[in-house]
Amino acid sequence: MPSTSSRSPRVAVLGAGAAGLCVAIKLLEAGIDDLVILEKSDGVGGTWRANTYPGAACDVPSHLYSFSFAPKKDWTRKFAEQPEILSYFEGIADRYDLRRRIRTGCEVRRARFDEDTAEWHLELADGTEVIADVVVSGLGQLNRPYTPDIEGLDSFGGEVFHSARWRHDVDLAGKRVGVIGNGASAVQFLPPTAERAGHVTLFQRSANWILPKPDREFSARERRILASVPFAERLFRWNIYWRLEKNFFFMRRGSRLGKLIDRMASKELRKLVSDDLPAEALIPDYPPGCKRILISNDYYQTLLRPNVSVELAHIDHVEPGAVVTEDGTRHEVDVLIFGTGFRSTEFLAPMEVTGRAGADLNDAWATGARAHLGVAIAGFPNFFMLYGPNTNLGHNSIIFMIEAQSRYITRAVRELRDDGLAWIDVRADVMDRYNTRLQKNADGTVWVADCDSWYKNEHGVVTNNWPAFTVSYWKRMRDFRSHEFVRRART
Ligand code: NAP
């Protein structure tokens, strides 16, 4: 018989971004109130706190990029910009009284499970320790900027920074700026950068599929309707959800829709081809969806500006005041900006995580990160993840996935509490079977086509994306199956 009077397990949530906030709210609602949120930075918001580059905005419509249980009905535009999104998550922390539970400036270096006491020992960067019964990582996939190790970079002499650590103190006015990378972030910061800089050289390895962004401001009337007409906001949200959900059809290998986009977009892009902007710079040589499909209304116009040039030769090295490409050309620049993405396939690294019988997560994930449903890893009891392996999306809102995961994890922690358990640990055979099926599905997606993307690791294994409709994930996550876990009673 479950004893609902059992004490709340002590829960440590890592990260005060969207994921950490969401799971904290769901745990508190379930009465699991011995909870602390350990945040490395100085505040709330995660990626929306870190990424302040000019033009930063979400490429998922805001009404769906917000919690279903805490809708914001007065978004100013369809695709909100970073300050409005950050302010939404800060407001969530206030509304749910989470700030008193958040310890900022806390970087967890090591997490070690003690089997004798069934406790997690979290070692912080300042040498102190936090002890918890349950650890929930809200670190996600995109929290560690990746800067390639380019020969001679140390000798450059000018300012160098990554887009996720934008240096607002560096005035780009009139400067010669080198931008390395042209992914989701660069597509957003390149246009405002080109407006300010004297000249921008974009070092591009491969072109992206970029579609028009159906963005605009909401009128005062629209906002009134969304705020006051019963169910208007709900219906609007669901409309966005299903419109995006159908885009998973693109993600299927050989999809007819994908081929149609390829044909139509290539035809439009060929109109922009010139001596300065060859087809190779504009038209991707891989199917749409293999990498994230980007949206922008000003990116191609920016490439056509007289003060912007696209360099397709690969970078060989950097020397004082210049980037030298493999064809021997010396490109003189004053500032270098890396839009080179994140260490997305490394997940929890560099944190060291040690589970049962001294199991090391780095070893367990040597050939690629894997988990059960993206949230639990065999051998690591009472340790859960949000936005973990194979839960990223190329077609819908990650907030939807995070909510499903938060409910599932809350259900697991409730079981610990109510059944008087010391720990639960997903069975290795369950996790293996799940991943075999998942990889079979991934094989049927366009992500395995011939393109480099952060959706797969260096072995070509799709470690990051959920290879199906999100509705099937949602359905599966509603069903917490106790028999899939080894359960150890509290002694
Ligand atoms: P990204 O999409 O991974 O793009 C990285 C770029 O850097 C690519 O153009 C890549 O070239 C280039 N690159 C990587 N290593 C390089 C090297 N050694 N030398 C030269 N170029 C190199 O990274 P991101 O733009 O930061 O975006 C990452 C993810 O963050 C997105 O996919 C998205 O999920 C998220 N994001 C979301 C939004 C949003 O609106 N919600 C905005 C920004 C970012 P190749 O393509 O040739 O490899």
Residues 133-173 pLDDT 10s = 999 999 988 999 999 999 999 999 999 999 999 999 999 99
Q: Which of 416, 397, 81 is nearest to 241 (CA)?
A: 397
Beta pairing partners, 201: 178, 309
Nearest CA to ligand 1 atom 15: 340
Cβ-in-10-Å burial (0-12, 13-18, 19+) of 34 comes to middle
Mean pLDDT computed over 103-127: 97
- Give dist(CA 471, CA 455) in Å, integer: 20
CB-based contact 71:227 (threshold 8 Å)? no
SS3 23: helix
Per-residue model confidence (pLDDT) at position 3: 44
Q: Which residues contact 215 (CB under 8 A, 6 or more apart)?
A: 77, 78, 79, 297
Nearest CA to ligand 1 atom 4: 183
358 conformational bin, left if phi > 0, alpha if psi -120 to 50, beta if neither: left
Per-residue model confidence (pLDDT) at position 1: 39
Q: Please work out whether the CB of residue 341 comes within 6 Å of at least one atom of ligand 1.
A: yes
Per-residue model confidence (pLDDT) at position 250: 86
Does position 4 have pLDDT exceeding 80, yes or no? no
Q: Please work out whether the CB of residue 339 comes within 6 Å of at least one atom of ligand 1.
A: yes
Q: Please work out whether the CB of residue 350 comes within 6 Å of at least one atom of ligand 1.
A: no
Mean pLDDT computed over 349-370: 94
- Give dist(CA 14, CA 386) in Å, integer: 10
Per-residue model confidence (pLDDT) at position 491: 82
Q: pLDDT band at residue 35, thresholds of 50, 70 and 90? A: very high
Cα-to-centroid distance, 205 and ligand 1 (Å): 11
Mean pLDDT computed over 439-465: 95
Mean pLDDT computed over 478-488: 97
SS3 102: strand
Tokens 């800060």 belong to 90
Helical pair 398-418 and 18-29, crossing angle rounded to 10 deg = 40
Cα-to-centroid distance, 182 and ligand 1 (Å): 6
Per-residue model confidence (pLDDT) at position 433: 98
Q: Please work out whether the CB of residue 292 comes within 6 Å of at least one atom of ligand 1.
A: yes
Q: pLDDT band at residue 96, thresholds of 50, 70 and 90? A: very high
Q: Quick one: which H or E segment has residue 336? A: strand 335-338
Q: Please work out whether the CB of residue 72 comes within 6 Å of at least one atom of ligand 1.
A: no
Does position 354 have pLDDT exceeding 90, yes or no? yes
Q: Which of 140, 479, 147, 152 is nearest to 341 (CA)?
A: 147
Per-residue model confidence (pLDDT) at position 49: 98
Q: Please work out whether the CB of residue 284 comes within 6 Å of at least one atom of ligand 1.
A: no
- Mean pLDDT value across the chain: 96
Structure tokens, 257: 């829709």
Mean pLDDT computed over 49-78: 98
Is pTM beyond 0.85? Reply is yes
- Looking from the CA of residue 150, the nearest atom of ligand 1 is 18
CB-based contact 322:203 (threshold 8 Å)? no
Q: Please work out whether the CB of residue 396 comes within 6 Å of at least one atom of ligand 1.
A: no
SS3 112: strand
Q: Which residues contact 166 (CB under 8 A, 6 or more apart)?
A: 51, 52, 53, 54, 189
Q: Please work out whether the CB of residue 183 comes within 6 Å of at least one atom of ligand 1.
A: yes
CA 389 from chain center: how many Å? 11
- Looking from the CA of residue 148, the nearest atom of ligand 1 is 18
| DSSP one-letter code for 45 | -
